[in-house]
Amino acid sequence: MKILVVEDDENKRVQISQFLHEAYPQAEVDLARSVQSGLRNIKSNLPTLILLDMSLPNYDTGPDESGGTPHIFGGRELLRQLDRFDINVPTIVITQFEIFGKPPNAMKLPQLDEELRAKHAPLYQGIVYYHASIHGWKDQLRQLIDKALNGQEGV
Amino acid sequence: MAKKSITPLDDFKNQLRGSPNPIRKLAEIRQKLGKADLIRLLQWLPQYHRDGRGLFQWQFPRRIADLRRQGVLSAISADKEIVWAARRLLQNADRINAFRVHAEQFERELTSKNYQNCRSQLDELEKRLGTSIWLIENKISILQLVEGIESQKAYAVSIREARGGNDLVSYLAFCISYRNENAVTVPHYVSQIIAAVDPERGVNPEIGSYVLYRCTNRIPKSEDEIGTLLRYEENSSIIDLYETFLLLAKWSIANPAFDLKDIFVREVKTLALAIKDFRLENLLFLGGVLKDISGTPAIPLDLHDSFIAGEYGRAVQAALSANEICTSNSSAWFVEAKARAEDSIPPRPEDSQFSTVIINLVRSVVMREEDENALAKLAKYRLNFRLLNFSSSLEPFLAEASSSDPISLGTPDQVACFVDNPIRVPEAYQKLPTPELREGYGKSLEKAYGHPPSLYFEIMRSGDPCPLPFPKEIPTLLNKDLLLIMHTERELRLGNYVQALELSTELTKVERRTAYWKLAQFHAHALLRCGRIPQLTEFIVVSVLKDKSMVRNLPIRECAEALDKSTRRLLRANLSTSVLLDLYSRNVNDSLDSERSFAYEDFLISNGFERPSQLAEKVTEFPVDQLQYYLRYLCTPSVMERSGAFAGTTEVEDERLKVLALLVKVDPDNSATYSGEIGTITRNKKIRQGVMHVEQSKISIDVPALRRWAHLNIKETFNRYKTFLSSGLHDESSSATDVLGEGAGDKNFTREKDVPDVPTNEIIDVIGKMIHSLFYEFTTNPEHGLDCYLSIRIRHGPIYGQLLSPLEKEEIISQRRSDSDEYNTHPSWTNRLKHLDYSIRTGLISRLKQFSKEYADFINRIANELIQIKTKDKKNGLFVITDETGGRAQIRGVGIPKFATFLNAIKADTTFDTFLDSSFGLFWESVEHSLKNIRGLIDSSLKLELARLFTTLETDIAAIAGDGTIADLNTSIRVAKTNAQEALDRVKEWFRLPKPLTAPELAFQDLVDIGLQMVRATHPEFDPVVNMDIPPLPLIEGVVERLFDIFQIIFENIRKHSGLGKNPQVTIKLERKGDRLSITIENEVAMWVRTPELEARLETIKQSIAKGRYQSGVRLEGGSGLFKLRARVGSAQGQPLPLDFGFSPEGWFFVQFEVAIRHIGEGEA
């Protein structure tokens, strides 16, 4: 089983990776840090499952790379690309934000969930609210992963 | 005798009589009564008096201070609110009649440009009936129109003063005043008001709704909202209640979604018996109560019939005559304007009547001359005079001018226009929502006018069956273009889209542009209705590329939204697909931007390409105008970066350059534009390279200057050493460790002794001291050594900017108070958290202040303790070049074997420069060891510490907030956390050895820009207005890095100390003096900046610099950076180059200095 984590926040990436190694020791965890590197990885490796952050840069940032346009809805952009290329990999969104954008165009988590369900089902599996100091996200993520993998992989 | 029973209503009356707060009691009673009892209560209320005053004494407020002083009544259902309002109005019918006389006269005076009389009418109205929001709104508009912004602003301020502070009335006055400013545009204004009253900001939704209605004319979205608006007007003048009642009646009767039509019609019928207002009659006609509207005045139809016949000159003459009869006949304005537009008849001479302004603007819109500007102005008049009848006629015109739907009938806007028109005219026929109403209106028009061609045209194009016996020859009286339009429109309205499509294909044969535009709109609409999306896509793109003004009236939105995944796949090889989606992005919204990027790339892939520059091979195979558009507007970085063909932003930018080069060939008419963009991109790249060069050279030393220093100070010792070597005094058995040990006591680690040592081995003593002296200079020279660069390029400002800016951007860090160690409260959060309880809010703010201190301490520790050369004073410094362990010195990161090789390479014939080259190599090897340790520390410790700071903050915030909503704050903290982590990663990358990059050759202006961009990288909001007075200069080399640093220090100082925020003015003057450049940089400062204390401090700094004390000052962080500036200006031929600073006679701050640009080796040290 190959799981791709698309996440630009280093701490969150480490936390998610640790959780996956503990909960799904047999899983091969791969990492990407931007919309484009995520998409490239998906096209070439075709993972079993994608764990996707919502706010992402376009390219991996680095000393010589600003990252291009930062996407508040970078995860949604990636889902659109999957839809475009008919790539059918179950995807779970993990975000640490409750609100995206600024009023009057702000979107709350339930609204986003609703929109993603409407436009990207059955690819889209659900959304997990991540909080660094609260562990509830792990249970929620485990449930969604198990559901996405037909209850085969839980520990 | 039977006791008379008390009805609930009687009981309520008693309660009201006995209540100490009758308004509150009334609010309570209203909620308990049915409609019939409400009416009875209202009939009785005029008898209620307390202390000689009636209950509704607020409805004619004498002064601004008295307006809207009662509390807002509690909510009742919308239908009861309508009844309540209508009956209150009925009780005041006489006064409302008086108001309408003044209001109509005011409008006539306005449209006739008798502005003085306008003021008199408002004054008279105020004297008779008191003040009102209606009066305030019109007064502000007329003041702006006649006397300008100062006058209307003064009036708005006087309202605020009269109110004694901020309240709803003063806020409305502020918003209306803001709306009337000439520079304000309607879309921006509306979005500002919507944002300002967003319930997410803690604004009461009812107040928000009322403000939006009053300020932006927003139509209510629900029946409840209609009730709310009436209830809010209950508290205002009776004038406001009346005008709002009528507006809501218009919208409700026209809007089938509201179930309030019947109740409004019933109440309007009652009001019409007592109030003389033509709008009430029009509403009754609209509500089906009046079958005939023949009471409304008619006018001669020469104007309309001449227009229909295509006799535009005659139409204009007729319009001028009609205008003399009735200046406020707005329907005549439009026909005249269209007639002028059709025949290119010049606009009316300016400076006559108000109507002239409108007519000329409408003419511009119809002719599509500067129409965006004209449309914007009309929209402003519409909103600013929203309470006057003529403005209603602007709304459907504005909607039609910017709508892609050519056949809408009876929209709320059109209905409002009909209601507010006092005159019967044929074009009003189209504005009625049902065939029955139109038939009735048609018959009314027949009674007034018989069977004129203009009426025939309106009936036929509506699609209705023609109920009137028009003479057979009528069609021949119509202009042939209009006849074609009429037939096509009729087929569209009847749903005969194929027939409409056939008729509209004649569009290429029409004579006039206006007819072409209309038929093209019909054609597109017919294609849409027939579901022919591929043809529609092509038609829209071809039409818009041929005539840009078509963008407003073609169904771009509908077409783009119909381009689903399968249709896009089908059309992927066509350029028009991506062009259409781009038109959508530019003219509708950005919701299909992903699809636009996909279409951009799909076109390339389906034609066998990966990148657009490859199209150069096949340019002749595509429609040239579409290819030009595609390359110009779609092959842009923002679109291309969503493609998988590029690995990063640099590749995307390089591709854009190639595309521009291709555009120069395929679109030579616009080659100047493309060359300009090429120039801009190239320059930006160069500046970015410069910025990157500095970013990658944070760890640096001034090699030429140190080499010169070594020549002056070490060379002789080196020659002594070589003499020892050649004389055979050198003992081959002396080890590298002995050499290191000999020099160790000199500088960093002083060993206390009563007298200096006599060297046990002189050769070892010579080489040891030489190497230690050299490395000490490399490390600590205040002008050229590593510590100088660490100070200027990392510790002084950059690390603070880099690590603070992500938090400043999210406003979760505040400034330290100047008078204590306390941190300020960020004002933004006081407001953004105001929906929370006081104790929670203060708890959160207090925690944020504490976090500000923790975070500042974190950065201070990195800058002041860690990024330092390790010395006795800086024991935690992470740069350790030479060190003493176990009583022996060592060069860190350089093993003994390596050092031995270095020593053994020094032979009798080794030149001093070769020795220096080897020494620099050894030094960098040692520095790399420190850099590696620092990078390791950032990864292993500082990142965790940073994460812990944020996680603790998040946990504490969650605990303090409890159930309170703090999503906004959480988002800010998490965005700041992610960005701070990235910033720390970027800081980590600073700690690498400089790449062997030579500084780019740059123009002087580029150097200034690079210095500025270095500051803007962390403070993007800082955008000074820089004026340069620069004589022609060749490209500068040799002092590039020095000038980077100097400009960065100066711009950082301007940002921090000018006191003028984001956009201070800066002038830069340059004069060439032989091999030197004399540069003067002046910046404006806020008046309060220049104080005697500051001038005294500057004088002290100057004296310290003059005495050479700046060398130790360089190591101090914070402050003005002037010591560092002194160090970077440097010296020439042993003398410091000139540097001066202070305040100019004009009160600007100046820095003046010289730099040497030639013979750099001589100019250093």
Q: Which amino acid is at B1144?
A: S
Q: Which helix (H) or strand (E) holds A95?
A: strand A91-95
A123-127, B391-395, B765-769: least confident range: B765-769
The whole-angstrom separation of Cα A9 and Cα B981 is 8
pLDDT at position B511, please? 84
Of B194, B649, B974, the CB nearest to A59: B649
Tens digit of pLDDT for each residue in B48-76?
877 777 777 778 888 888 888 888 889 99
Indicate the pLDDT class of residue B952, thresholds 50, 70 and 90: very high
Pairwise CB contact (< 8 Å): A10 & B951: no
Asked if residue B122 lies in contact with residue B138, where contact means CB atoms within 8 angstroms, the answer is: yes
Residue from B443, B417, B446, B448 nearest B430 by CA:
B417
**Which residues of chain B lie closer than 8 angstroms to A77, CB-CB?**
594, 642
Pairwise CB contact (< 8 Å): B652 & A133: no
Task: List all residues 6 or more positions away from A105 whose beta carbon is below 8 Å from its beta carbon.
Answer: none
**Which residues of chain A lie closer than 8 angstroms to B947, CB-CB?**
11, 132
Whether the model pTM is above 0.90: no
Indicate the pLDDT class of residue B1025, thresholds 50, 70 and 90: very high
Pairwise CB contact (< 8 Å): A84 & B989: no
Of B641, B970, B985, the CB nearest to A58: B641
**Which residues of chain A lie closer than 8 angstroms to B989, CB-CB?**
62-63
CB of B692 within 8 Å of a chain A CB? The answer is yes
Q: How far does chain B reach from its first CA to its final CA, in angstroms?
A: 122
Pairwise CB contact (< 8 Å): B947 & A132: yes
Tell me the two tokens of residue A143: 């449930």
Of B641, B967, B968, the CB nearest to A69: B641
pLDDT at position A76, please? 94
Q: Which of B564, B567, B649, B992 to mutate to test the interface with A (most CBs of A within 10 A)?
A: B649
- The three-state DSSP-derived secondary structure of B124-155 is HHHHHHCCCHHHHHHHHHHHHHHCCHHHHHHH
Of B598, B650, B989, the CB nearest to A84: B598
Indicate the pLDDT class of residue B1081, thresholds 50, 70 and 90: very high
**Which residues of chain B lie closer than 8 angstroms to A63, CB-CB?**
695-696, 986, 989
**Which residues of chain B lie closer than 8 angstroms to A131, CB-CB?**
954, 958
Q: Which amino acid is at B163?
A: R
The whole-angstrom separation of Cα B784 and Cα B776 is 12
CB of A44 within 8 Å of a chain B CB? The answer is no
Per the listing, tokens 């004296």 go with B1103
Residue B749 phi/psi, 5° resolution?
-125, 90
Of B695, B951, B981, the CB nearest to A9: B981
Tell me the two tokens of residue B51: 């202390």
Q: Which of A81, A86, A96, A137 to mutate to test the interface with B (most CBs of B within 10 A)?
A: A96
Residue B284 has pLDDT above 90, yes or no: yes
CB of B654 within 8 Å of a chain A CB? The answer is no
CB of A43 within 8 Å of a chain B CB? The answer is yes
CB of A86 within 8 Å of a chain B CB? The answer is no
pLDDT at position B691, please? 77
Residues of B (1104-1163) whose Cβ lies below 8 Å from A:
none
Chain B residue closest in CA terms to A79: B594
Pairwise CB contact (< 8 Å): A99 & B954: no
**Which residues of chain B lie closer than 8 angstroms to A111, CB-CB?**
none
Residue B1142 phi/psi, 5° resolution?
150, -160
Per the listing, tokens 């190599």 go with B921
Pairwise CB contact (< 8 Å): B195 & A67: no
Position with higher pLDDT, B565 vs B353: B565
CB of A8 within 8 Å of a chain B CB? The answer is yes
Taking CB atoms and an 8 Å cut-off, how many pairs form between chains A and B?
Answer: 91
CB of B598 within 8 Å of a chain A CB? The answer is yes
3-class state of residue B745 by DSSP: coil
Pairwise CB contact (< 8 Å): B982 & A61: yes
Asked if residue B348 lies in contact with residue B360, where contact means CB atoms within 8 angstroms, the answer is: yes
Of B642, B968, B974, the CB nearest to A96: B974
Beta-sheet pairing, A2-6 with A49-52? parallel
pLDDT at position B764, please? 76
Tens digit of pLDDT for each residue in B1115-1155?
554 566 888 888 888 877 778 889 999 999 888 999 999 98
The whole-angstrom separation of Cα B1139 and Cα B1149 is 14
Across A55-64, B621-630, B873-882, B987-996, which has the greatest mean pLDDT? B621-630
Q: Give B1058 to chain A, closest Cα distance, Å.
A: 30
Q: Give B563 to chain A, closest Cα distance, Å.
A: 13
Indicate the pLDDT class of residue B734, thresholds 50, 70 and 90: low
Of B201, B648, B696, the CB nearest to A65: B648
Pairwise CB contact (< 8 Å): A59 & B647: yes
pLDDT at position B1165, please? 29
Residue B1113 phi/psi, 5° resolution?
-65, -25
**Which residues of chain B lie closer than 8 angstroms to A35, CB-CB?**
642
pLDDT truncated to tens, each residue of chain A (155 aa)? 999 999 998 888 989 999 999 999 999 999 999 999 999 999 999 999 999 999 899 999 887 788 888 888 999 999 999 999 999 999 999 998 887 876 666 788 899 999 999 999 999 999 999 887 677 899 999 999 999 987 544 33
The whole-angstrom separation of Cα B196 and Cα B212 is 10
Q: Which helix (H) or strand (E) holds B813?
A: none
Tell me the two tokens of residue A107: 């979107």
pLDDT at position B1056, please? 85
Pairwise CB contact (< 8 Å): A63 & B986: yes
Residue from A75, A50, A49, A70 nearest A60 by CA:
A70
Asked if residue B546 lies in contact with residue B538, where contact means CB atoms within 8 angstroms, the answer is: no
Tell me the two tokens of residue B588: 């509708």
pLDDT at position B1107, please? 79
Pairwise CB contact (< 8 Å): A68 & B649: yes
Pairwise CB contact (< 8 Å): B200 & A77: no
Beta-sheet pairing, B888-891 with B1076-1083? unpaired
The whole-angstrom separation of Cα B207 and Cα B193 is 12
User: Helices marked H in B730-887 — which ranges?
Assistant: 736-743, 762-780, 786-790, 798-809, 827-832, 838-861
The whole-angstrom separation of Cα B742 and Cα B738 is 6
Q: Which helix (H) or strand (E) holds B517?
A: helix B513-529
**Which residues of chain B lie closer than 8 angstroms to A42, CB-CB?**
none
Residue from B918, B911, B879, B689 nearest B785 by CA:
B879
pLDDT at position B402, please? 83
pLDDT at position B314, please? 92
How many angstroms separate the Cα of B795 from the Cα of each of B68, B341, B869, B1132? 59, 67, 12, 27
- The three-state DSSP-derived secondary structure of B223-244 is HHHHHHHHHHHHCCCHHHHHHH
Asked, as a colleague might, if the bond just before A104 is cis with ω within 30 of 0, I would say: yes
pLDDT at position B755, please? 41
DSSP string, B325-371: H-TT-HHHHHHHHHHHHHTTPPPPPSSS-HHHHHHHHHHHHHHTSSH
Q: What does pLDDT average to over chain B?
A: 86
3-class state of residue A131 by DSSP: coil
B553-562, B706-715, B1013-1022, B1044-1053: least confident range: B1013-1022
pLDDT at position B818, please? 67
User: Helices marked H in B1058-1136 — which ranges?
Assistant: 1092-1106, 1110-1113, 1122-1129
Pairwise CB contact (< 8 Å): B977 & A63: no
CB of A135 within 8 Å of a chain B CB? The answer is no
What ipTM was assigned to the predicted interfaces of this complex?
0.91
Per the listing, tokens 């500002």 go with B192
CB of B828 within 8 Å of a chain A CB? The answer is no
pLDDT at position B309, please? 93
3-class state of residue B287 by DSSP: coil
Asked if residue B891 lies in contact with residue B926, where contact means CB atoms within 8 angstroms, the answer is: yes
CB of B269 within 8 Å of a chain A CB? The answer is no
Q: Residue B149 gets which letter from DSSP?
A: H
B262-276, B423-437, B547-561: least confident range: B423-437
Indicate the pLDDT class of residue B3, thresholds 50, 70 and 90: low
Tell me the two tokens of residue B419: 């209601």
Residue from B1054, B1061, B1067, B1060 nearest B1120 by CA:
B1054
CB of B648 within 8 Å of a chain A CB? The answer is yes
Residue B756 phi/psi, 5° resolution?
-60, 150
Pairwise CB contact (< 8 Å): A132 & B695: no
Residue from B1160, B1157, B1143, B1022 nearest B1079 by CA:
B1157
Mean pLDDT, to the nearest integer, of B439-450? 90
Indicate the pLDDT class of residue B998, thresholds 50, 70 and 90: low
Pairwise CB contact (< 8 Å): B644 & A39: yes
Tens digit of pLDDT for each residue in B407-436?
776 778 888 889 998 888 898 998 898 999
pLDDT at position A39, please? 96
CB of B985 within 8 Å of a chain A CB? The answer is yes
- The three-state DSSP-derived secondary structure of B407-420 is CCCCCHHHHHHHHC
Tell me the two tokens of residue B568: 């896009």
Mean pLDDT, to the nearest integer, of B1034-1047? 75
Residue B754 has pLDDT above 70, yes or no: no
CB of A84 within 8 Å of a chain B CB? The answer is yes
Across-strand partners of B350? none
Residue B164 has pLDDT above 90, yes or no: no
**Which residues of chain A lie closer than 8 angstroms to B198, CB-CB?**
103-104
Indicate the pLDDT class of residue B172, thresholds 50, 70 and 90: very high
The whole-angstrom separation of Cα B1081 and Cα B581 is 48
**Which residues of chain A lie closer than 8 angstroms to B986, CB-CB?**
63
Residue B641 phi/psi, 5° resolution?
-70, -10
Residue B1 has pLDDT above 70, yes or no: no
CB of B652 within 8 Å of a chain A CB? The answer is yes
Beta-sheet pairing, A124-129 with A91-95? parallel
Cα four-point dihedral sign B251, B256, B258, B260 = positive
Tens digit of pLDDT for each residue in B28-44?
888 888 888 888 888 88
Asked if residue B267 lies in contact with residue B252, where contact means CB atoms within 8 angstroms, the answer is: no
Pairwise CB contact (< 8 Å): B989 & A63: yes
pLDDT at position B1111, please? 55
